Amino acid sequence: MTGVNVIEARGLKKDRVSSFLLKRSPILDDLSLTVREGETYGLLGPNGAGKTTTVKILVGLIKPDSGDALVLGQKAGEPEALKQIGFLPENPYFYSHLTGYEFLEFIGQLFALKKKELKERMAELLELVGMTADANQPMRKYSKGMLQRLGIAQSLINNPKVIFWDEPMSGLDPIGRRDVRKILERLKSEGKTIFFNSHLLPDVSDVCDRVGVLVKGKLVAEDSIKDIERGGGYKDLEEYFLTKVGG
Amino acid sequence: MVSSVINPVIAIAINTFRETVRDRVLYAFFVFACSITVLGILLGSLSVGQDIRIIEDLGLTVIAIIGGIISVFAGTNLVYKELERRTIYVIFTKPVSSWQFITGKYLGLVMCIFVVVLAMGVFLLGLIWMVDPTHHMQLHIGSIIASLALVFLELLFVLALATFFSTFSTPIMSVIFTLSLWFIGHLGGSLLDLSKMSSNPAAQQLLTALYWCLPDLAQLTRVRSVLMYGKEPSQEIIIFMLAYVFAFIFFLLGLASLVNERREFP
Ligand SMILES: Nc1ncnc2c1ncn2[C@@H]1O[C@H](COP(=O)(O)OP(=O)(O)OP(=O)(O)O)[C@@H](O)[C@H]1O
Ligand SMILES: [Mg+2]
């Protein structure tokens, strides 16, 4: 692991403004974290803790009210940063009348990839996520898990250096989860920096180097998996998580 | 590199075109338009005898109205649909700038409207050919194509309006805004007349200023009436009209890109 900081969040704050009396309450409260090059980081936390919000800030979909978010030394959401990241959103999404193949092609064209390179990359990725056989079906006929697989494929189309996955295992069957774990292992071995959210703690402890626990917008704990499982006196990641969350 | 700027625009345009053209609603509209025209002809031939001019006018009006409806609804749903289906998350986390997105979406719809107008135009020509016992198509074809081009030009403008509003308001509000401005566009000239009639200089200035801000489609109407009498409009009028409409489209799309750039997608 080299020492370069690939993802850097400093003092991120984001408020939610209620439509009633415009009352403000924090979604993220002074969140700081860094992920180094080649590291796999898992952001954990109960529902509504602000994990998705954090990822959305890091990929530039929303702007923090204050604080800085840097990816590969660029401000989050800048085109130079976006060229080198892959993002899988939380929920499946689709175009009703496009096939999976057309969708993947479309995403590749947004990166202005060369035709031949794109074709090869698409074939490889469809194979990787096990969607080759269904690629010519319209997306509205896909199941949740199939959309999720396609989502994983689109997030890798540009061979990104940094990967942001929001709950990559959700909606997948056990085979799918195993596949995703395998893909993660492979991406790790290729030296990618990976940032992901998940509620599936056994999977997280299998693939992550380090985890952070987010509760009500605050980072309450951050440790390496090694420390947690060996020196921390916790039975497993679940016990650690429950202790930190206070559940 | 030019291709890295253009490719995303083309990709978004093709994607939008596919999504819109494969929607069944479009075919429903098309069938509806064709049936109305045929019905009109059937009724018309009972009363007036087979007057080609009436069929022509009716057909062109139906094309303009149906094309307008499709433009307004497809345009105003443009950004909303992507938000609703969360596809926007995938697009805006790719190196795609706001103007590329807006331009691509707009061009995709333009392609779609082009196909719609073309298909309905061919249908109309076919009808006229069947009804005209002499089958002298060359008498009609020129004026019909010119009129169709005019309808298409107006729809380009309507699409730009709808695209603009769709970047910051809900579909329903966008429909209302677009229809209002479209309507005002055809009244625009009367604002100027009104200002000339007014004796109050402040009111005069206000009305004139308003006139310059709002679109004015009177040129289109003028050219249309010239065509109706089977004459050719002068070149200056055509050039002026094209310049005016395209300037307005550029202005609207530019504004839409600016609005969209500041937008967050929670
Ligand atoms: N679009 C939105 N508008 C207003 N508030 C929002 C919006 N999206 C999220 N929030 C609020 O922000 C908080 C954090 O939401 P977020 O989606 O980041 O949680 P999460 O940690 O990803 O939860 P989960 O595990 O359920 O995915 C929640 O309390 C939620 O109510
Ligand atoms: Mg979430």
* Per-residue model confidence as pLDDT tens digits over B35-94: 888 887 777 665 544 577 778 888 888 899 999 999 999 899 888 888 888 889 999 999
pLDDT tier at B133, thresholds 50, 70, 90: low
Task: For residues B157 and A169, give the distance between their C-alpha atoms in angstroms, rounded to a whole number.
Answer: 46
The per-residue pLDDT for B135 is: 64
Reduce the DSSP state of residue A53 to 3 states and report it: helix
The per-residue pLDDT for B45 is: 62
Q: What is the ipTM of this complex?
A: 0.89
Q: Are A167 and A199 in contact (CB under 8 A)?
A: yes
CA of residue A209 to ligand 2 center, whole Å: 21
Q: What percent of chain A has pLDDT over 70?
A: 99
pLDDT tier at A92, thresholds 50, 70, 90: confident
Burial A73-89, CB ≥16 within 10 A → b, else e? ebebbeeebbbbbbbbb
Paired strand residues for A35 = A7
- On average, the pLDDT of chain A sits at 91
Q: Which residues of B touch A99 (CB under 8 A)?
A: none
Tell me the torsion sign for CA atoms B144, B149, B152, B154: negative
Question: Which pTM value belongs to this model?
Answer: 0.89
The per-residue pLDDT for B261 is: 83
The per-residue pLDDT for A226 is: 85
Task: For residues B180 and A61, give the distance between their C-alpha atoms in angstroms, rounded to a whole number.
Answer: 32
Q: Which residues of B touch A158 (CB under 8 A)?
A: 94
Which of A53, A57, A62, A165 should be mutated for ligand 1, with most atoms under 8 A from CB?
A: A53
pLDDT one-digit tens code per residue, B194-232: 777 777 777 777 777 777 777 777 777 778 777 777 777
Looking at ligand 1, which residue's alpha carbon is closest to its atom 17?
Answer: A52
